[in-house]
Amino acid sequence: MADLRLVTSWDDSHPVDRRLAALLARHGIAGTFFVPASNREGRPVMAPADLRALAAEGFEIAAHTRDHRRLAGLPRDEVGRQLADGRRRLEDILGAAVTGFAYPGGHPGPHGRQAALAAGFAYARGTEMFRLDPGPDRFLMATTMQFHPHRWAGLARNWLRRGGGFDRFGLAWRLAAAGDLDRGLAALVETGLARGGVFHLWSHGWEIDERDLWPALDRACALLAAAIPPGRRLTVRDLPA
Ligand SMILES: [Zn+2]
């Protein structure tokens, strides 16, 4: 069987992420939480004590801008401030270096990638799906699937990002044809086990909660934990470069 690693990442730092972390911990699955210092879209964020608790439990706390600004329309200096301030505030809370970053909405815009480098991050995650590796760009890291019941159009739009490609099409097709999240995840895990690489599952805790995907996520974690042994379940930070 090919060597498959598992990473999971969870955006926006909604307070339900404590519940999400407990679910992951129950299955022995690592997680990276991308945390904006505040959220201008009005969603609450975890308190500093929650972030420190998650870090103490071994989860990675990573940055997601100062107040969840989409970067695409912002001038260069504001992009730089969003990234640098967001990182500094998290480091003040945690008393430890923060090396990971994710672009709000998944799009770096014209300045985001350079700003992530300049702010001293070691990687930046996007939201491109259907890959079984982080992709060629450590500063626009790809994922395998979002834990979200996407319709065909959403899957097709994501596939078309950065040029589509035959290899990614295979995974997109398997996910779309599966019809639901349980079967979709199972199909992609099966492909991952055959090919090896990195299986990167991501989503938002608030979305799991709003759609009541908790039982589905519990089943997904059970499936992933059965397929991928503990030593292969990493935070994004711990993925080999
Ligand atoms: Zn976000």
For the stretch 99-141, pLDDT in tens is 999 999 999 999 999 999 999 999 999 999 999 999 999 999 9
Instruction: Characterize the bridge pairing of strands 145-146 and 123-125.
Output: unpaired
Query: Residues with beta carbon < 5 A to ion ligand 1?
Result: 11-12, 104
> How many Å lie between the centroid of ligand 1 and the Cα of residue 1?
35
Q: What does the pLDDT read at residue 1?
A: 60
Please tell me the distance from the alpha carbon of residue 178 to that of residue 186, in angstroms, as a whole number: 9
**What is the pLDDT, as a whole number, of residue 151?**
86
How far is the centre of ligand 1, averaged over its atoms, from the C-alpha of 233 (Å)? 23
Radius of gyration of the chain (CA): 17
Please give the average pLDDT of every successive group of 10 residues along the chain, which has 241 residues.
91 98 98 96 96 98 97 96 97 98 96 97 97 95 94 88 83 91 96 97 98 97 98 96 78
Record the pTM: 0.96
Q: Report CA torsion sign: 188, 189, 190, 193.
A: positive
User: What's the rounded Cα separation, in Å, for the pair 145 and 9?
Assistant: 11
Q: Which amino acid does the sequence have at 29? A: I
Q: Is there a contact between 34 and 10 (Cβ–Cβ < 8 Å)?
A: yes
Residue-wise pLDDT for 44-59, tens only, equals: 999 999 999 999 999 9
